[in-house]
Amino acid sequence: MNSEKPKVITLDFAVLELYKNYIVSTINEGVSFDMPHLEEITEVFIRNYPTIPFISIANRINDYTINPTCLLHSSILPNLIGIGVVSYSKSALETAKFEKKFYKGTLEVFDSFEDCIKWAKNLISANK
């Protein structure tokens, strides 16, 4: 996988692992993710990736809900070049495919964390 040691930020609702060009978010079990959560994560993005292109990876190991309209607001960060969603169950995979319809940028759904990391690294390389 990745030998790079991430910077870890623990929020009330999630754990964020920040790497050079991507961030892995693991939302806590049972969270109803909505605009206040998105705003808090966006602040982390702005502070840590002010100008460099980066990928956001949602590591969906827990069961939570997301207001899909949050994805409509994710495009405010011009250097966010893609979102990868790793789903570990069939229902989570189907939910992520539904949410993809709300995002105007590049959003890909994976059933393997390793495949998502490869995709993220390739997308970063293509955008340099």
- pLDDT tens string 46-67: 999 999 999 999 999 998 888 8
Mean pLDDT for all residues in the chain:
89
Chain centre distance of CA 121? 14
Q: Report residue 44's pLDDT band, with 50, 70 and 90 as the boundaries.
A: very high
Pairing of strands 80-87, 107-110: parallel
pLDDT at residue 91, rounded to an integer = 84
pLDDT at residue 43, rounded to an integer = 93
CATH class, domain 7-126, is alpha beta
**The pTM is what?**
0.90
Q: Report residue 3's pLDDT band, with 50, 70 and 90 as the boundaries.
A: low
Percent of the chain with pLDDT over 70: 95
For 21, other C-beta atoms within 10 Å of its C-beta total 19
Q: Nearest 5 degrees, angle CA 34-CA 40-CA 46?
A: 130
pLDDT at residue 2, rounded to an integer = 54
C-alpha–C-alpha distance, residues 93 and 76, integer Å: 25
Q: Which residue has the higher pLDDT, 80 or 72?
A: 80
Res. 73: pLDDT tops 70: no
Q: Rounded to 5 degrees, what are φ and ψ at 36? A: -60, -35
Domain residue spans of the chain = 7-126
C-alpha–C-alpha distance, residues 3 and 105, integer Å: 28
Nearest to 74, CA basis, from 45, 52, 48, 53: 45
